[in-house]
Every structure is written in C-alpha cells, then in structure tokens.
Structure 1
C-alpha cells in the first residue's frame, strides 16, 4: 500500500514539473525586411533574443552592408578565414548555378545595379559598359581553393542576397529544433520554413500573393494558399517591376549570362524544397530562366516542386503547378 502511494506521489510531482507548451510569436526587422516567427515552447518561453542572435551571426558572414563581414572582406580582396556559413552558402550557390546554367549567379549584383530598379538607368547602359561588367561576372570565375576564395578578376564581387534569407530561415529552424520546439513557422521576407503543426493542430497555411502591381501597396490579394509542414518555401517575383508590351506583362530581370534584360512572361515563382536556402536560390533563378526552361529544370530536380504565375498572350494571369505542389494546395483564387 505504501509503495502504491509513493508511486502516485512520484507521478504527481513529475506531472507538476512538466510545463505545458505554448505558442509564442515574434516579429521584427532584419536584413532590410520583416520577419515573423511562431513556435511552441515549454512554458511559453520567449526565444526572440536568441533567435535574433542567430540571424545577426549570419549577418556577420554574408552581409555586404557590414564592412566587417566575411563577404565584404572577400569583396575587398582582404585575406580572411572563410567561416562555415560562407562556405555552406557559397557551395550551394555554385551547385544551383551549375544546375540552372548560370541563371543563378552570386556575382551578378553590379550588373543589376547598373540598370537600376525598373531600368531607370537604361539610357546610361552601353554595349561597352555591359562588356566590361561581363568580364567581372560569372559564377565560373570564382572558386574555393585551400580555404580561400579565388577570383579570376580582383574586381569581381559576391552578393548573397538571393540565397541568404532562405539560409537564415534554415538556421533559425535548426535553432528552434535544438531548443526542443517541434512545431514552428519561420518567415523572413517571404521565405518560409514550417515544421509540425500550428496552434490549431493543423499544417501551417502559407499564402502566395497575386502579382498585381495595383494592389502591392494596398490590400494585396492572394493567388493561392499552401498547406506546409516539414518543408521550406520561397517566392520570387517582380510585383511592381515589370513592363507591358502588346498587352503582355514582362518582368524586369537581368540575365547574368548576357547582361541584358530577359523577355519572358513569368511574373512569380514559388518553390518548395527540403531547405529554404535551396528554395530561395531556385525561385530567383527561375525568374531569369523563364517559364519553359524553368519547368524543364524543375522536372529534373527531384527535391523541388514549383508554382509559377505568368502572363499569357492576352495579358491574363495563368499558372503552372507541378504535381507535387498541387497536392499541397489548399485553395486557389481567380
């Protein structure tokens, strides 16, 4: 009888020590954009300071706005130890550059800057200027050798903005799992990693925006809602950065291989992948490749699924949805 009471007491004490898990939501600014993170933690513990520390640590590696970062030192040709973050991002970037035949390229930033947002500087762009920049750009002109970045031309510069936010989502997701969080959603500037369930016990619902230039700064409508768990999602699109020719909308996107704008009607690319770094880079590269080539590439890469929004010959929006992506669609809107 005494043993029975001791056992009951032990179970009571154990239950009392187990703190119920609660969902916590954090938001803030990082990398020039907004982040939203929701996670289930024991006792509702707020992990925001630690989460921001993780994001800031990546900044010290990959931010071109921080003069002391690893990538800034590389761009200035200063001898520096390439940290694990830099090596991870650079390696994956080069792999995706190869797969996409140069549509993704970390060296393209100077080319984009010359044209300006919305081609505002197009009158200043000359064939001679493009040729001079092409001599500096190209993912094949940089590689890692003996732990150092080697450039064919010292003026070649790297920019990780098209892949780093996705990697940041992965890092925060890894941190939350290390803290015992089984259910969470990490979103940084539209790049997302979701794991487990939301507070209602369902998969996380993630919206894909309708690329309508008239709605971007008002009440932006959704084109689709995705049911997401244990995967990553990234969207790239020129929601206000396109032009109309003969009634068809074309995105303002620079092809790293030519230095000139591409002309295709693909306006938004959403990619599902096992990690957000991969989804982020492919979403960006598909905006360069165009609809047909992007479908071809997506069909060759087993780990990704895609949702493309494009403008047809009448200027109306159409979508291409891969079979794997279609399974996760909760709703589509006209």
Structure 2
C-alpha cells in the first residue's frame, strides 16, 4: 500500500475560537490499513461516526486485496460466483476512465508488478528482465472488460489492485454522507487523502500541509513544505521518497510504471492533485508519479477542474516546486 504524504493539521487548531466550536465533532480511527480523521460541524450536535465507520468497512469488503473474501480478491482468485457491488463498479469505471486519459499510466491491473517488486499484498517475487517481461503479459487495463455487470479478464493471471484509488473513493463517500445530513463544514481525511468543504472551527479555510520530501520515516521528523488553504474540493498526494527499499546499492521506489514494469526513475518526488472529488485526485496523483512532471502538467493544463502542486529534486537546491496557475490562490502565506 502506498504511503501517502499529506499531513492533516486541522486537529492542531488551538482552543479559544468561535463560540459555536463545540458543534464541531471529531471522529478518528483505523480503516483501509491506515488512519482516518473526520471533523464536521453537526447542526444538531449528532455524531455520525458509526455510520461513517460502517461505510468504510463495507468498502473494504469490496476493494481490499488484504481481505481474502472481498469482491476484488475473489475476482483475483477467478471466483466465477462473485457479484460485483456498487463500490467495485464505481471505482472500476473511474479507474478505466483515468487509465484511458493517462494512456495507461494509471492501471488497476498493475497488481502483479506491485507484488513482484515487494510493494503489494504478497511476498516479493523474482524481478529480473525475464520475469518482468512475463508479468507484463498480464498487465494492461485494456485486457479487462465490464460486460453486462460481469468483469471479463483476457487471462486468469490478470489481477487487480485498487489501493491507488479506493481511499479517495472512501473519502468521497464519507463526505457524501455528511452532505446528506445537511453538514456544510467538514474535513474528511483517510491516509492523507482529503475532501473538505466550508470552514474549519476557526472560521477559516481548511489548512492542509504538504510534506517536505525527505526520507525520514517517523511522524516526528516530518516537515511541512507548504500549507494549502482549501474551502472546497479534494486533495491527494503521491510520492516516492518514503516508500522504497535498497538492494545491491539500487533504490527501488514503490511507484511502478505499468508500461515498463519497473519502478519509476525521474526527478518528480511528489505530486499533489486538487480536484472536485478525491477518487479522481487520488488516481491522478498516482498517474503523475508515473508520468513525471512535464507530462503531468500537460494533463493538468488541459483538464478543467484539475490543479497540481509538484515537488522535484533540484539541481542546486534540494527541492524545486512547480504548480499550476489555479493552485496559486491556495498558497496563501
């Protein structure tokens, strides 16, 4: 599971804010193999934690590759009796859409490669040019087809991995639940993927920190590179600088290029994507780490509703920051 790099800082808001701060409710816990934090202004002071938690659990039953009886696991096991639920269908259709738009940089069939390199839900496998070439025969979103509510794989060896989009989907679903309850001020964060609307308890836009891309592994050592101010929308970040391993002097990052079969090697250290929904932001952030900066910025500039914030390794300075024009308004000092 990829290590997401957004830091949620709304929980660090100091006391002594608006008089109605007590109406903001905070929920937190574990889901999807990570932690979640949700804060919202409930008009009647009602706590919706149980409903939110139950929804996350149902999503895991559909999309978690770590659950052997989930929908996606049964698909990977070629269980012909599996019934595709709405959660799987929603995520699969979005994954297919973004795969087409990124020319396969985002690919839900990348599971065999992720597993082979030791970043998936199985033990690492052999990774030489012959084995990777063989695995590539089973990778490619165009080799899977949705027909009459049934998923058809060109070959039984194809396996799916929704980890790069499922958390964003879960964030959106939690936000939708809050919206249906009449809640207009909220922040939903799951594993660094975020959807916000309205104001935080201080009466200001939500403040979301983007990590400085260093290899430090602990939360204590993490540093904020920039704070983004967002009143509505979803933000997801993907990066290669923490989840990696070294073997024989070579560093292997967790982002795998579905076209080559190998971990990516370029200057882009992290990509943060702002979109209307978190599922879209989540998938594009992963795709951008495959594509690199220039191709990613080309996509951002031609897709209304997408904004990007990119951190690259610098030539003279440690980091170089670039972002789309629309991101400027969120970079208040």
User: Which interval holds the TM-score relative to the shorter structure?
Assistant: 0.7 to 0.9
Match of 1:47?
Answer: 48
Match of 1:71?
Answer: 72
Match of 1:297?
Answer: 299
Question: Alpha carbons of 1:149 and 1:21: their partners in 2 closer, same or farther (altered >3 Å)?
Answer: same
Matched, 1:327 2:301: no
CA contact (8 A) 2:184 2:197 kept: yes
Once residues 250 and 292 of structure 1 are traced to their aligned partners in structure 2, the CA distance between those partners, rounded to angstroms, is 22
Deviations 1:135-169 (A, max 9, x none): 11111100101110011111101110000000000
Match of 1:13?
Answer: none
Deviations 1:250-302 (A, max 9, x none): 95532101112322110010000000000000001111101111111211211
Once residues 270 and 308 of structure 2 are traced to their aligned partners in structure 1, the CA distance between those partners, rounded to angstroms, is 10
Question: Alpha carbons of 1:216 and 1:321: their partners in 2 closer, same or farther (altered >3 Å)?
Answer: farther
Larger radius of gyration: 1
CA contact (8 A) 1:309 1:317 kept: yes
CA contact (8 A) 2:244 2:253 kept: yes
Report the alpha carbon displacement of residue 88 of structure 1 after superposing the two structures with TM. Answer: 0.9
**Of residues 181, 184, 188 in structure 2, which corresponds to 1:186?**
188
CA contact (8 A) 2:118 2:125 kept: no
TM-score (norm 2): 0.86
Deviations 1:18-42 (A, max 9, x none): x998100111111111100000113
Report the alpha carbon displacement of residue 127 of structure 1 after superposing the two structures with TM. Answer: 1.7
Match of 1:239?
Answer: 241
Report the alpha carbon displacement of residue 315 of structure 1 after superposing the two structures with TM. Answer: 6.0
Once residues 55 and 296 of structure 2 are traced to their aligned partners in structure 1, the CA distance between those partners, rounded to angstroms, is 33
Once residues 245 and 300 of structure 2 are traced to their aligned partners in structure 1, the CA distance between those partners, rounded to angstroms, is 26
Alignment partner of 1:42: what SS? coil
Report the alpha carbon displacement of residue 243 of structure 1 after superposing the two structures with TM. Answer: 8.7
CA contact (8 A) 1:22 1:42 kept: yes
**Of residues 258, 264, 267 in structure 1, which corresponds to 2:266?**
264
Alignment partner of 1:51: what SS? helix
Structure 2, unmatched stretches of 5+, are: 1-19
Q: How large is the RMSD of aligned CA atoms in angstroms?
A: 2.3
**Which deviates the most, 274-283 or 253-262?**
253-262
CA contact (8 A) 2:64 2:73 kept: yes
Higher relative contact order (CA 8 A, sep 6+): 2
Alignment of 1:247-262 (within 5 A): 253-262=255-264
**Of residues 210, 221, 224 in structure 1, which corresponds to 2:223?**
221
Once residues 253 and 67 of structure 2 are traced to their aligned partners in structure 1, the CA distance between those partners, rounded to angstroms, is 30
Report the alpha carbon displacement of residue 126 of structure 1 after superposing the two structures with TM. Answer: 1.7
Question: Alpha carbons of 1:122 and 1:145: their partners in 2 closer, same or farther (altered >3 Å)?
Answer: closer
Match of 2:210?
Answer: 208
Alignment partner of 1:201: what SS? coil
Match of 1:129?
Answer: 131
CA contact (8 A) 1:250 1:267 kept: no
TM-score (norm 1): 0.86
